[in-house]
Amino acid sequence: MPKHQPFQKSYIYTALWLAILGGFSLGAHIAMPMGFGWNLPPFYQIWVQTHGHMQLLGWTGLFIMGVSLYFMPRFVKVPLPYQFLTKWILILITTGLIIKTGALFTIPYLAAGTTASFFTYLVYAGGGMEWAGTLLYLFLIGTLFKRKPRNYVGLQSVQPFFAIMAAGFFFYSTLHLIQYFMFDATSRMPWSSLTIDIFIMLVLFPVAFAFSVRTFPLFIQIPPFRVSFYWFGVIYGTSAVIYLTGAVNHIPPAVEITAKIVISGIILILIYHLKLFPKMVLSPRRFMIRYYGEKYLNDRIDSGAFTKARPGYYDFGQYGRFELLIFSAYIWLAIYAVLEIFRNVFHLTGSSALFGHDPVRHIFLLGFITLLIFGMAQRMLPGFMKKKGLWSQKLVIWTFILGNLAVLGRVLPILLPQPWFAGIPEIHQWLMYGFGISGLFAIAALALLLVNLWKTFRG
């Protein structure tokens, strides 16, 4: 009888090292000259594109894969098939990322000739390895779902979100690979933008939401959901496909923009259903009375549960204040959705939006996804490793402070309209310094997370 595979912590370590030494360092290296008015690094486009891809596949992608390869088999109650493949997925993606990045940064310094074409082949080989690793992951997840019991209903509500995630991984990795064969760094830009949108809409949001639905009732004591999210998933997926099709095929701009507004609207409705905002503002007692009823509350008081656990949670504080990271992640997500609605309503009415794509995108990627990973990692991974709690609860607060400072620094100066600073250029200058060092704040938070997890896993 096959058994469940233990948690593959190498995915988490690799994601963290790739983030610290790769994605975030590249981001910091681009942001610093922008913030302090220094010269941008040569071959800027390659820096930006490599930063983006390394962050998406290396940081968030490997984290999602590592967690889902442990979580999903237990969720559908079937051991993961072909368990030996999990190490190959990690080897292929990590080696591919490193080879491709090294070659991309070397090519511009070489004159056209045999050596340059050798490095171009390395780019193809690296891209091919990333693609093969991602496809192996999809193969494992697909086989797992095929083997789940036929009458298993636990998955139904979030099934469309997992299906969208699988499609997203496939299209992202395939289009990302194809673009290296078709375009050079400058003409790659529009495609790069499409693949990023695919990753954000089809991979990151669906998987973050599906995991939130499955874990939040346990982690932050919110009542189990009475609604099924199935149809939300279907409408979300259809709108995302309509929006993304607009990038490759002509569809009326009004349809494309409406699809984007629907997506953001659904995100807001889903946030509402997670009940995180009442959880943040109501006392544990009032929250419980409102959502569970007075009888349940009294039963819990009688059973002594409140004296044992942290009020409003099931844990005893051994994971620190991890919920602050989850709350702030969802606040950033709500801000993202509202700004996206504004941006698209402006487009629809023909006026130019007050703020650009980049800060809004980073609100999602850094504010929502990265802070959510910080919070979930510190709450969930000790349990995956059969540990009773985190090595340090204080470090959780520091990842919360540094992580949020990084988001504020990264997005505020570009998000706030320039005319606001007309009479006070010094404030804008200071905000730009904050932009310059935002990457360092993020790297510091990642380093603390790495230390905390490493010590916890070894303890």
Chain residues in the site for ligand HEM (CB under 6 A): 24, 27-28, 30-31, 34, 48-49, 51-52, 55-56, 59-60, 192, 196, 358, 362, 365-366, 369-370, 406, 410, 438-439, 442
Q: Kindly state the smallest distance separating residue 414's Cβ from ligand HEM, in Å.
A: 8
Q: Kindly state the smallest distance separating residue 37's Cβ from ligand HEM, in Å.
A: 14
All residues at 6 or more sequence positions from 39 whose CB lies less than 8 Å from its CB, including other chains = 33
Nearest residue to ligand HEM, using CB? 52
Q: Kindly state the smallest distance separating residue 329's Cβ from ligand HEM, in Å.
A: 12
Return the number of the residue (31 or 144) whose C-beta is nearest ligand HEM: 31
Q: Kindly state the smallest distance separating residue 54's Cβ from ligand HEM, in Å.
A: 9
Return the number of the residue (199 or 216) whose C-beta is nearest ligand HEM: 199
Return the number of the residue (344 or 370) whose C-beta is nearest ligand HEM: 370
Q: Which amino acid is at 247?
A: A
Nearest to 66 by CA among 101, 113, 18: 18
Distance of alpha carbon 270 from alpha carbon 409, whole angstroms? 28
Residue position matching structure tokens 């409102």? 290
Helix H or strand E encompassing 305: helix 305-308
Instruction: Tell me 363's DSSP state.
Output: I
C-alpha distances in Å from residue 315, one per residue of 57, 67, 175, 276, 312: 32, 21, 43, 17, 9
Q: Kindly state the smallest distance separating residue 45's Cβ from ligand HEM, in Å.
A: 8
Distance of CA 397 to the CA centre of its chain: 20
Distance of alpha carbon 345 from alpha carbon 354, whole angstroms? 11
Q: Kindly state the smallest distance separating residue 194's Cβ from ligand HEM, in Å.
A: 10
Spatial contact of 51 and 27, defined as CB atoms under 8 Å apart: yes
Distance of alpha carbon 339 from alpha carbon 355, whole angstroms? 9
Return the number of the residue (321 or 362) whose C-beta is nearest ligand HEM: 362
Return the number of the residue (137 or 191) whose C-beta is nearest ligand HEM: 191
Nearest to 106 by CA among 45, 180, 46, 166: 46
Return the number of the residue (260 or 362) whose C-beta is nearest ligand HEM: 362
Distance of alpha carbon 367 from alpha carbon 406, whole angstroms? 9
Token couple for 213: 């639905």
Nearest to 274 by CA among 201, 215, 222, 204: 222
Q: Kindly state the smallest distance separating residue 124's Cβ from ligand HEM, in Å.
A: 19
CA angle at residue 96 from 359 to 112, to 5 degrees?
A: 90
Q: Kindly state the smallest distance separating residue 336's Cβ from ligand HEM, in Å.
A: 13
Q: Kindly state the smallest distance separating residue 68's Cβ from ligand HEM, in Å.
A: 17
Token couple for 398: 């520091």
Return the number of the residue (24 or 322) whose C-beta is nearest ligand HEM: 24
Return the number of the residue (27 or 160) whose C-beta is nearest ligand HEM: 27
Distance of alpha carbon 342 from alpha carbon 145, whole angstroms? 39
Q: Kindly state the smallest distance separating residue 73's Cβ from ligand HEM, in Å.
A: 26
Residue 432: phi, psi to the nearest 5? Answer: -65, -35
DSSP string, 57-105: IIIIIHHHHHHHHHHHHHHHTSPPSSTTHHHHHHHHHHHHHHHHHHHHH
Return the number of the residue (138 or 411) whose C-beta is nearest ligand HEM: 411
Return the number of the residue (212 or 370) whose C-beta is nearest ligand HEM: 370
